[in-house]
Structures are given as C-alpha cells and as structure tokens.
Amino acid sequence: MAENPAAIAEKEAKLLSIISSDILEIGPEFAVTDDLFEAGLDSMSIMRLLIQVETAFGSRIPVAQVNRENFSTVSKIVALIPVA
Amino acid sequence: MISVRSLATDSKNQQKADVIVAGGGTAGIAAAVCAARDGAQTLLIERRGALGGMACNALVHTLCGLYLLRDDDTHPLAYSNEGFPREFAERLIAAGGASSPVRMGKLDVLPHDPTALAAVADNLTRRTPNLTVFLHTDLTRVETAAGQIQAVQLRSQGCAMEVSVKSLIDASGDAEAVALAGADFEVAPTDRLQRPAYIFGIGGALENALAGDARLKLAHLISSAVTSGHLSSEALGVAFRHGMGKSEIWATLDLQADPYDPCLPECLSRVESCGRRVSLEIIRFLRLHAPGFENAEITRTPLQAGIRESRRVSGVASLTGEDILHGRLGENPVALACWPLELRENARGARLRFPTENRPAGISLDCLRSRTYKNLFVAGRCISCTHEAQASIRVTGTCLATGEAAGKAAAAFSK
Ligand SMILES: Cc1cc2nc3c(=O)[nH]c(=O)nc-3n(C[C@H](O)[C@H](O)[C@H](O)COP(=O)(O)OP(=O)(O)OC[C@H]3O[C@@H](n4cnc5c(N)ncnc54)[C@H](O)[C@@H]3O)c2cc1C
C-alpha cells in the first residue's frame, strides 16, 4: 500500500531536522533530495543516523538495504522506513 | 648524576649541548636534524623506545599537510613545504615506508607505515653529524636564570643527568618543557579540546572486507550491536580504513573521554584502558558477525592512545583560525600551514573548515618562540596558536615544517 504524500513529507521533515540538529552540518536550504554523502555523511555518522531513525520511527532498516544509493538522500531513506 | 660519553663537557666538567630537543615526534625529528645540520651540537631526547611520536607510537598512519590544497587532480600536486618535510616524505617513500600520495575527498595525503617511519628516522638521525639521540630518556627538569634556560635534567632508567644548554626546543607535543620551565602556556576548555583516539591495526580480514558498501554495512552491524547492548557505546566512534596495502586495516576509535584532561594521569589511564577494552570488544564482534572478518585479529596495538591537543605555548605571536581560513601569509613566514581546520571536539567524526581559495597560511618564527624565555623554541602540535588554528597545524606535514624552522632558529641562536 502506498503511503500518502502528506505522511511522507512529514517523515522527511522529521528526518531532515534530526540530521541537521545532530548528524551533519547542513543549512536550512538543504533539500530532501540533496546528496547526504556530499554533505559529509560517512560510515561513522551513519551509525548515529541509524540509531536515531530507529528511535524516531520505531523501526530498524534491515542491513540488506544499507547501501550508498539507498542512503544518498533524505527521501530515499524515508522510503526505506516500514509503514507503521 | 651520571655522565654520558657521547656528550661534550665544559671546563667545569658539566655535560653540555648547544641545542636540546625534547620529544622525538615528527616535529622533534625535523628540529634535531635541521639544528645539527646547521652546526649545533644537538641532543634529541625521547621518552619512548621509538622516534615518530603519534605517527609511530599512537599508530597515526597518514601524513597530512604535506601538499598544497587543490580543487581537483587536474591541478598538479605540490609540496607545501619544500625543505625537510619534502625530504622526509621522499625518504619514507624510497624506503617503502609510505606509498604514493592518495586523494581522500578534497585532500591529498601520504599513507605511511608507523614502524617504517621510526626506522627512517633512526637511519637519518644516526647519519646526521652533530646529533645524538637518547631514547628511553625523559626531560624531567628545566633550570632557568636571568630570563633564559640554562640547563636541563634528564632521566633514564633511574639515572639522572644534567646538561647545560644554549637553547631548548620543546617538541613534546604537550608543551612539557614549557610547563617544566614555568613558561606561559594555554589550554582550551576541557569540553572543546580535540578528542583523543585509540588506533589499532587489524590483519587477516579478506581484501574486500571494506569494499563497496561494506563499510556502511559494518556501521549498521555495529550500531545495532550498540543498541542491543552487545557492544559498548564507545564503539560508535570507530572508523575503518585500509593501510598502505589492502591486507591491513586501521581502526581509529575516537573517544569522548569525558571529563577530558590530557595532562592528568588519571584521565590518560582511563583513555588507555577504555581504548584497549573496546578494541578487543570490536575485534571479537567483527570475527563473529562481519563478512570478511572471520579470521581477523588485532595485529598492532598502540604504545599510547593518540592525543590530538593539550597545552599550547604562549609565544611572542599566536596564529589564529582566521589566519588559516583567510590564508594569511604574514611577513617572513618560516613554515606554511595548508591543512583545513579539522575539528574533532567530540567523538562523532571531523568537521572540516577550508581556507579561502585553498591558500596556505604563513607561520612566523614568533609563533615558535616562548614569550617567557628567549632561548625556548617550540615545534609541532604545541606551538603558539589558538585552539582553532591548532586544528590545522597539528598535522604531521606542518609539524615537520615547524620542526625544521625551530631547529634552524635554535641553531642560529646558539652560535
Ligand atoms: C588519533 C589521531 C589521529 C591523527 N591523524 C592524523 C593524520 O591522519 N594525519 C596527520 O598528519 N596527523 C594526524 N594526527 C595529528 C598528528 O599525528 C600529531 O599532531 C603529530 O604527530 C604531532 O607531532 P609532534 O611531533 O608535535 O608531537 P608528538 O607526535 O606528540 O611527539 C612528541 C614526542 O615527545 C615525547 N615526549 C613528550 N614529553 C617528553 C619528555 N618530557 N621527555 C622526553 N620525551 C617526551 C613523546 O613521547 C612523543 O614521542 C592525528 C593525531 C591523533 C591523536
């Protein structure tokens, strides 16, 4: 079942705010489609990102889905979060 | 007091040297070789059993700051300091102790082997006339009179020796000579000091253990294990990187270490034991759970945890973060700093601040001179600068350059 656009946008905004307050130094102009690795995401910061995603959304992204492509933008990460 | 045959004595039978270099890290190696080459009878003393400091004993394995910044590799690679830093890098490469420069993101670095670096330093110092090296020797006291350093006391294996000196170079990383002399220094507030790290080497992993998305998948495994309580939370500070060859992996474990004070033995003891414990937890975990790490083992443990920042001397002048960010050359720079500000004020990885147009900043000799004693020079990560500037100048390439400049200046002063 596809999630409704408003719910997706809400999740994206929540994840973006987590990333900007705790994970990466990104400005207010940073978009949900901008590249997180170019903004400094690396194998150390992704550990905290994964933990924060679990805390905020109540579900863990399986290891099989962890790759550079899937984690390159906020939108793509949100698409991995199972719908509650 | 004992006397040592390799040192000269004066008319009162007191042992003497023109220049004493306290600390044999990258800065001290450069300072001692360059002072001796300029004709000063030089004594280099090092507490531990190998030269190299952090770049050997703490297993730092990449020389940074050797090359000018460039936007991309269409611009040619150029040394930022042509003198001793270039010579040392080339000796290391020729000896097989360093590969060739590698582009990491926007930066060019030279991966090296920590033990080979110490061996190259052994070879070079042994063949330098006028230079004596004492390993396993600690600077324990600095005698001053009339605004100058007069003599130092050294201690090795339970024996003390006193050596009179014309000038002293503090290349101890922690400004120990400065502190012992009672000269002025500064330390950043404890919550801002750059955090320490425990580096260890891993062998026996498959060559593709870090290939493709493996590093991200490792991050997932480790963070899951931390959440489930199978690994200590400190494991979140770990990052993996290949060594010079694909068969070795370096793990750098950044530690928050609060409350952090790198000048206190209780704090250092806590850092060392935490690094040791968590490194063992991590290797056990990797063997059980990480693809390609089934037969991995720790092949190198550091002789000491890596300390990035502690005391900084208060000099005649002080380099600031703004100087670096604006690439200010100043008048008569004796060394160039060209590494971005690499802030590691927590164990969550680096924040980089690049200088405008990749311009290098000039370091003046006044930043290498104590404001308290005119024959006290400083080189390496404890030169006179702000906390922000130290985040750039602490890299080994710049330490080699400030070492060279301090060595030449101390030799000239001693004439
Ligand atoms: C975890 C970590 C990672 C790093 N990564 C990099 C990197 O990738 N690339 C890079 O270029 N730089 C890196 N750095 C920074 C760099 O390694 C150090 O700042 C640099 O090596 C400092 O050189 P130094 O000669 O000033 O001091 P040190 O290397 O600290 O050497 C000082 C020496 O003085 C000796 N000593 C101290 N007091 C006395 C005394 N009283 N008597 C006798 N001997 C004494 C010590 O034993 C030591 O050998 C890193 C640092 C750390 C801690």
Hey, is A10 helix, strand or coil? helix
Gap from CA of B382 to ligand 1 centroid (Å): 10
Measured distance CA(B1)–CA(B358) in Å, rounded: 52
ipTM: 0.94
What SS3 class is residue B251?
Answer: strand
End-to-end CA distance of chain B: 27
Q: Quote the pLDDT of residue A84.
A: 65
Which residue ranges have their beta carbon within 6 Å of ligand 1? B 22-28, 45-48, 53-55, 58, 60, 62-65, 138-139, 171-174, 176, 197, 199, 306-308, 380-381, 394-397, 399
The nearest CA of chain B is from the CA of A68 a distance in Å of 6
Question: How many angstroms separate the Cα of B242 from the Cα of each of B239, B300, B389?
Answer: 10, 14, 29
CA A21 to centroid of ligand 1, rounded, Å: 33
**C-alpha distance from A43 to closest chain B C-alpha (Å):** 5
Neighbours of A20 (CB within 10 A): 15
Q: Which of A43, A48, A60 sits opposite B215 (nearest CB)?
A: A43
Ligand 1 closest atom vs CA B61: 8
Answer with the residue of higher pLDDT: A63 or B245: A63
- Torsion angle of the four alpha carbons B113, B119, B121, B125, in this order, in degrees rounded to the nearest 10: -170
Q: How far is the CA of B210 from the centre of ligand 1 (A)?
A: 28
Chain B closest-CA separation from residue A34 CA (Å): 18
Residue A68 to residue B351, Cβ atoms within 8 A: no
Residue A1 has pLDDT above 60, yes or no: no
CB atoms within 10 A of CB A48: 19
Contact B113, B50 (CB under 8 A): no
Whether B348 and A44 lie within 8 Å, measured CB to CB: yes
Q: Is B374 exposed, middle or buried (0-12, 13-18, 19+ CB in 10 A)?
A: middle
Residues of chain B with pLDDT under 70: none
Q: Which amino acid is located at B118 in the chain?
A: A
Ligand 1 site-directed mutation target among B48, B54, B242, most atoms within 8 Å of CB = B54
Query: A50, B224: Cβ pair inside 8 Å?
Result: yes
Q: What is the pLDDT of residues B103-155, one digit of tens each?
A: 998 999 999 999 999 999 999 999 999 999 999 999 999 999 999 999 999 99
CB nearest B216 (choices: A51, A60, A66)? A66
Q: Give the number of beta-carbon pairs within 8 Å between A and B.
A: 59
pTM equals 0.97
Q: How far apart are CA A68 and CA A65, in angstroms?
A: 9
CA of B400 to the centre of ligand 1 (A): 11
Going along chain A from its start, the domains and CATH numbers come out as: 5-80 (1.10.1200.10)
Q: Supply angle C-alpha B310, B313, B317, rounded to 5.
A: 135
Q: What is the pLDDT of residue B245?
A: 81
Please tell me the predicted confidence (pLDDT) of residue B215. Answer: 96
